[in-house]
Structure 1
Amino acid sequence: MIKLQVEIEMKVGKKMTVKKYRNTKDISYYMCDRTHTLTLPMLVNLTLEVSGEQSEALGLGEEIMQEKGYSWIILQYEFEIDRFPRNKETIEIETYATEYNKLFCYRDFIIRDLQGNVLITIHSTFALFDFTKRKMARLPEEIVTPYKAIFNKRVKRTPKPLDIDEEKAYSQPFYVRYFDIDTNQHVNNSKYLDWTLNTLGGEFLKKHKLIYANVKFDKEVCEGQMIESYVSITENKESSISAHKIRTQGLTNCSASFKWENIEQ
């Protein structure tokens, strides 16, 4: 349920004003796992819903973008997690485009509880996809100007996910189904997170709390394909690291690494 819609502007130095957007969301049981905690894939869906609301408010909603022959695609996420929201909790999601260059747009999301505490911070990299040419497009000024992001001609260097240990890695296959495809005719980004997390297995997930994630999308997968989700785990006394690859026919479609806090049983 939408409780609040707010658009504000944040001054950056003396020259530029970044347009920020806020909205509240209620966490429902179907968004949560068996511990009544919001899942990472559902978190991604909620944040994309809010960024889509901002685009709609700026006159650049999904229908308008499709008329122009474009859609936004996500190239990378970096999550800094204090805690995940819980069932029946109301959260505020704030988002804004921070910078852009000729090819990439960088957007942040901040998730807070109603007391103003920051629960999760997400740094993301977006690109524009040209439907006709089936490849990334340069960012037209009329599409990025309304967000009032800062132009920086240099490509921002974001940390890469850690590589899997091929000797320790194991894998699980997943079939790409009809309902995995979203309205942009791509496999929804949350599905990649489903595939990576499910490969860890229930015993690992019950004993660990996710505190950091880095996910990079390299190559799209298509309906009807069979993917292999690989994972290797490095466990320490207080924390663990899981490294992931999603592959089809030897090609890497997605890479990820997660840091976990060990939970005492």
Structure 2
Amino acid sequence: MSLVYKSEKTITHYMCDRSRSLTLPMLVNLLLEVSEEQSSELSRDESYLKARGVNWIILRYEFSVSRMPNLKETINIETRASEYNKLFTYREFVVKDSSGKVLLTVDTTFALMDLSTRKMVRLTDEIVSPYQATASRRIRRSDKPKELTDFDDCKQRTFDVRYFDIDGNGHVNNAHYISWLLDSLPSDFLKSHEVSWGVIAFDKEVSEHQSIDSLSMRRKERGTATDHQIKSEAAVHCKASFTWKKLNKEEH
């Protein structure tokens, strides 16, 4: 049985949007912080990995949200590395309120990247065994973001990749991708809606000084849904799909 790690966090002002709810980019930052806390406890933190010339990268998120935590709310985050194969490890997060009610769950797919070649490498027992995840030969088949079908109907914004967008691995922090994805949506829509489900898939790295285009398109399906793409002249770097629920004024 894989080891479960738990951590308590309090939502502060800088983590929230204008509706005083935790933002999706800040949620991801909190989840990765807790993941790193567990790795440190198991002596498998970032410094351990970098000494071996590798580090974790995230290939996929899938979110299922009942509601996002609010400003000053104390939440409990539980995480475990549930399963791994020769290339990927699957980590689960559960976020609960102070009474133990589940607010949201997040499933993630991690891989190891060689810091010199910038390519994925095989997982080793030395790195993954402390987490007590289940070894498997299967590669999970999961929901994928929907493809954008009509670029003429897409909303589009262009962003330049800045120095402070790059993290210690030498690539753009996940939270910045999510901000770019969502920033292509109209502010009136973002003020009146909250994510209820989402999937994000990462492909090619984005580099400093690149310009990227964030495209989005709305569709009607199970409520309101949006599909997204981050691309440059050279490649498509990230795709995402989200399902949204309309916020009640009483909620905020």
The TM tier, using the shorter chain, reads over 0.9
In 2, Cα distance between the equivalents of 1:132 and 1:264? 49
Give 1:203 deviation, angstroms. 1.0
Q: Which amino acid aligns with 1:183?
A: G
Determine what percentage of the aligned residue pairs are the same residue: 46
Name 2:213's counterpart in structure 1: 228
> Which moves more between the two structures, 109-118 or 164-173?
164-173
Q: How do 1:208-227 residues align onto structure 2 when only pairs under 5 Å count?
A: 208-227=193-212
The equivalent position to 1:50 in structure 2, one of 20, 34, 38, is: 34
CA contact (8 A) 2:115 2:169 kept: no
Query: Are positions 1:197 and 2:182 aligned together?
Result: yes
Name 1:207's counterpart in structure 2: 192
Cα 1:250–1:131 change in 2 (3 A) is closer
1:5-49 deviation line (CA, Å, top 9, x unaligned)? xxxxxxxxxxxx211100001100000000100000000000000
Name 1:91's counterpart in structure 2: 75
Query: Are positions 1:101 and 2:85 aligned together?
Result: yes
In 2, Cα distance between the equivalents of 1:72 and 1:177? 22
In 2, Cα distance between the equivalents of 1:56 and 1:111? 20
Any stretches of 5+ residues in structure 2 without a counterpart? none
Query: Are positions 1:169 and 2:154 aligned together?
Result: yes
Name 1:241's counterpart in structure 2: 225
TM-align CA RMSD? 1.2
Give 1:256 deviation, angstroms. 0.1
Give 1:262 deviation, angstroms. 2.7
In 2, Cα distance between the equivalents of 1:240 and 1:133? 41
Aligned to 1:192, what secondary structure does the other structure show?
helix
Give 1:119 deviation, angstroms. 0.4
Aligned to 1:160, what secondary structure does the other structure show?
coil
Give 1:206 deviation, angstroms. 1.6
In 1, Cα distance between the equivalents of 2:88 and 2:11? 31
Give 1:239 deviation, angstroms. 1.7
Give 1:244 deviation, angstroms. 0.2
1:44-91 deviation line (CA, Å, top 9, x unaligned)? 000000000000000011111100111100000000000000110110
Give 1:191 deviation, angstroms. 0.4
Any stretches of 5+ residues in structure 1 without a counterpart? 1-16
Name 2:47's counterpart in structure 1: 63
TM-score, normalising length from structure 2? 0.96
TM-score, normalising length from structure 1? 0.91
CA contact (8 A) 2:64 2:198 kept: yes
Q: How many residues align?
A: 248
CA contact (8 A) 2:162 2:208 kept: yes
Name 2:170's counterpart in structure 1: 185
The equivalent position to 1:150 in structure 2, one of 126, 129, 134, is: 134
Q: Which amino acid aligns with 2:119?
A: K
Aligned to 2:143, what secondary structure does the other structure show?
coil
In 2, Cα distance between the equivalents of 1:239 and 1:165? 19
Give 1:250 deviation, angstroms. 4.6
Give 1:216 deviation, angstroms. 0.3
Structure 1 residue ranges (4+ consecutive) displaced by more than 6 angstroms after TM superposition: none
Query: Are positions 1:23 and 2:23 aligned together?
Result: no
Aligned to 2:153, what secondary structure does the other structure show?
coil
